[in-house]
Amino acid sequence: MKTRFISYGVTAVAMAGVLCLFLVSTPAAQNTAPATKPAAAAVPTPRLIDGHPDLTGYWAGDQAALFTTEAHDGDIPNAHFIDRTPDGNIFYDYAGAEGSVGQLNDDEDAPLAAANNQASYKPEYMAKVQQIATTMYGATTSLDPQHDCKPNGVPRAGFGGFVVASPQAVAMLYEAAPGPYYRLIYTDGRGHPKDLDTSYMGHSIGHWDGDTLVVDTVALNDETWLGGGKLTTIHSDQEHVTENITRVGNTITYQATVEDPVMLTKPWVLPARKIRLSPPDPDKYYIQPEMCLNNDKPHLIHETATDKARCGWCQQDADKVYGPGAAADKAKADKEARAEKSAGGGGE
């Protein structure tokens, strides 16, 4: 079977946190000096006939880019995605068993912590969100709409898959999220129709602000999740999403803001993330025909006081591996991280 960058099913759940951390979070955590080799010349941004950036392409990223210390195309100079320690070892940060979805660490006695950028729910809805969180085991729960083959919705689906753009519309063709489906963003100047029925992907219209496509989406049903972690899940059918999509060279910068006057006390702003254009390799990067199958939900485990999801690859005894005192240093760092997040109000 050919190498695939986008996986499916349970693997997709596990890899989501990994890829997000690699492609978005790791530049801020680098502790090595930038590469001395000059960055490659920036790739020109392709444009449509009307002069706006052309978003067309297969935006699944470049798997090889995860294992390099140099920028592939000059869009992110001196970027690297793997931390290498002074002794030459490579540190793979897998974000823990939680997949970066709301736990500060893997301490089974630690209380459920808010994600770095949690949606601000009204008290009555926060109670529902908390109840959903108690059914999670690791990064999943049988209550997740994905397990019923429902489309991810907006903004959970994000920007990705195969994109076809024209001056009239932008079409996103998703391969497996959780099944094959599409989304249309009209860019021909039309407005939202009156008396819209709600749907999983809603109705999207876009306009250009310089080189940024600003997308306005309404008429979203309440059968999807926001997908922001254990404590950012449900939304109402009054959800309103604004997205900013900017292409520079072979990199897309995606940012979204969610407003929900029914459930949220204030807009939820997703931090900007970057998506790479996949290399022009037809043997690796293409959409395969796939169908979504409902998972065997009765066999999905709910976490209990005696049965907890644990990180199978995390280092549990740092002293044995790194020498006496390493565990104490980790505990101190965890404590400082908690204090810093608490003082910062949960922002990124």
Q: What is the model's pLDDT at position 311?
A: 64
**pLDDT (average), residues 34-49:** 68
Q: Are 200 and 213 in contact (CB under 8 A)?
A: no
The CA distance from 95 to 318, in Å, is 17
Q: Is 99 helix (H, G, I), strand (E, B) or coil?
A: coil
Q: Are 302 and 132 in contact (CB under 8 A)?
A: no
The residue among 222 and 31 whose pLDDT is bigger is: 222
The residue among 249 and 332 whose pLDDT is bigger is: 249
Give the pairing of strands 203-209 and 181-186: parallel
- pLDDT confidence band for 57 (50 / 70 / 90): very high
Residues 76-122: tens digit of each pLDDT: 443 334 444 566 554 444 333 333 333 333 344 444 444 568 899 99
The residue among 138 and 160 whose pLDDT is bigger is: 160
Residue 10's H or E segment, with its range, is helix 10-20
Residues 253-263: tens digit of each pLDDT: 999 999 999 99
Residues 196-229: tens digit of each pLDDT: 999 999 999 999 999 999 999 999 999 999 988 8
Residues 176-186: tens digit of each pLDDT: 778 788 999 99
Which range has the worst mean pLDDT, 31-40, 210-219, 309-318, 322-331? 31-40
The CA distance from 202 to 268, in Å, is 18
Q: Are 133 and 125 in contact (CB under 8 A)?
A: no
The CA distance from 21 to 32, in Å, is 17
Q: Is 251 helix (H, G, I), strand (E, B) or coil?
A: strand
pTM comes to 0.67
Q: What is the model's pLDDT at position 344?
A: 55
The residue among 189 and 97 whose pLDDT is bigger is: 189
**pLDDT (average), residues 241-265:** 96
Q: What is the model's pLDDT at position 50?
A: 96
**pLDDT (average), residues 51-66:** 78
